[in-house]
Amino acid sequence: MLPRTSLFSFTTEDPSAFGVYLAAAAKEHPIYFDEGLGVTVVLRGAEVTAVLRDSETFSNRAYDIGIMKGALVALDGASHTRMRRIFNAVLSPRVVNRYEETIVTPVARRIVDRLARKQQADLVDDFAISMPMGVTSALFGMPEERIAENDVLIRKMIRSAMAPQDPVLVAEGRRAHAAMGAQLREIAEREVANPGDTLLGEIARTLAAEGLGGVEACEGVVLSLILGSYETTSWMLANLLVALLAHPDAMGQLRQQPSLLPQAIDEAMRWCSNATGIVRFVEREATIGGETVPAGTLLYVSLTALHYDEEAYPRPEVFDIQRRPTGLLSFGVGPHYCVGAPLARMEARIGVSLLLERFPALRSDPTQRPMFSTAPRGAAAFGPDRIPALLV
């Protein structure tokens, strides 16, 4: 019988504490039943990687219910390959690079210009949320105020998708989706009828070329991109800023050597990962960590404990921008590796670079300490409730 405990309701003042905690637990219980989540959890790194690489045994079928039915995250096999080809056509690094000067840099400059009017800020609201919100608005042709109005709904939908075993969260996600339904349909109808000069317009044209040019298919893509390009990127940026503010020497290094920023981004995703886990469905009986897992089991696959594995990352509790972390799971692994990763990395690189350049005195506000949890502001992520910072 699987050991039973509860690990994923966690609050701390230390942004590295959750990784340390899960890595220690993984040594004792590579797989266990989490009573808080109500689902079997795969915790240890080797087992996590094996599960994520075997999509035939451990499928995405758990997502193919409710609001994510038919979305890329819910597909496997030939259907996934076909839809991923469509996403890759418009989100590959080569294509995304076109947006650097036309969209991402102007958005970042506008946000930094707004910050320049202040002496102190909460960098969750004033940067980590504002940056992907502005980029999403420009890429999709959706006004920023509409994205902001839907912030709570977006978080409820993501939480429901990440907890298909929880009827309360699933019901909340369905209601949130229904509340946004008219907006999603309006955007999809607009792009199908007259694809614009935006990322969404490019996707609409690509869908049509693949024989999937209907409003329903486009609406599913709109939902996937809004959930993936806005909310998850926000918490990735928040945790990157947390890591840098906690290590002023690292910020100084980055100002002197901006070329280190890409690996600093990776190290922040390792040291304080926003992505806590993903869901998989067991298609056939399997053995994980010495335990037999029957077909039909729902798995929650932890993405955090491996990042604190001392064999993979010596002195894992240390944030070191000279480290070149490999094997990171923040964007997933294998056939379901996040298609939006190049865009998220670009936003982090450009946004943080401009922030450090404009504010040489940027530092944490010593009078306020953020709290970190596995559900900051109701999000399905690990991150801070706020990031109090002094700008001058």
Q: What is the 3-state secondary structure (H, E, C) of 284-351?
A: CCEEECCEEECCCCEEEEECCHHHHCCCCCCCCCCCCCCCCCCCCCCCCCHHHCCCCHHHHHHHHHHH
- pLDDT tens readout for residues 115-164: 999 999 999 999 999 999 999 888 877 778 888 878 888 888 888 888 88
Q: Which string of DSSP letters, residue by residue, matches 209-255?
A: HTT--SHHHHHHHHHHHHIIIIIHHHHHHHHHHHHHHT-HHHHHHHH
Q: Which string of DSSP letters, residue by residue, matches 161-185?
A: HH-TT-HHHHHHHHHHHHHHHHHHH
Position 367 scores a pLDDT of 95
Phi, psi dihedral angles at 32 (to 5 degrees)? -155, 170
Task: Indicate the domain borders of the chain.
Answer: 4-390
Position 162 scores a pLDDT of 84
CA quadruple 22, 28, 33, 35: dihedral sign? negative
Position 70 scores a pLDDT of 74
The answer on pLDDT for 364 being more than 90 is yes
- pLDDT tens readout for residues 320-362: 999 988 888 888 877 778 888 889 999 999 999 999 999 999 9
Superfamily classification of domain 4-390: Cytochrome P450 (1.10.630.10)
Is residue 63 within 8 Å of residue 323, measured between CB atoms?
no
Position 271 scores a pLDDT of 97
Residue 389 pairs with which residues in a beta bridge?
Answer: 121, 364
Q: Using CA atoms, how far apart are residues 62 and 59, in angstroms rounded to an integer?
A: 7
Q: How many CB atoms within 10 Å of residue 3?
A: 12
Least confident of 146-150, 240-244, 275-279: 146-150
* Displacement of CA 296 from its chain's centroid (Å): 26
CA distances 203 to 89, 91, 97, 198, 213, Å, are 8, 9, 16, 9, 10
- pLDDT tens readout for residues 157-205: 888 888 888 889 889 989 998 888 888 888 888 888 888 777 778 888 8
Position 334 scores a pLDDT of 75
| Mean pLDDT for the chain overall | 90
Is residue 124 within 8 Å of residue 386, measured between CB atoms?
yes
pLDDT band with cut points at 50, 70 and 90 for residue 370: very high
Least confident of 21-35, 84-98, 362-376: 84-98
* Amino acid at position 358, single letter: R
- pLDDT tens readout for residues 49-82: 999 989 899 998 888 777 777 777 778 888 888 8
* Cα angle for residues 372, 127, 129 (degrees, 5° grid): 70
Q: Using CA atoms, how far apart are residues 277 and 330, in angstroms rounded to an integer?
A: 9
Q: Using CA atoms, how far apart are residues 76 and 81, in angstroms rounded to an integer?
A: 7
For residue 190, the 8-state DSSP code is H
Least confident of 84-98, 215-229, 235-249: 215-229
Q: Rounded mean pLDDT of 290-306?
A: 94
Q: Which two tokens stand for residue 46?
A: 């080797």
Position 325 scores a pLDDT of 84
Q: Rounded mean pLDDT of 209-223?
A: 78
Q: Which two tokens stand for residue 302?
A: 């932890």
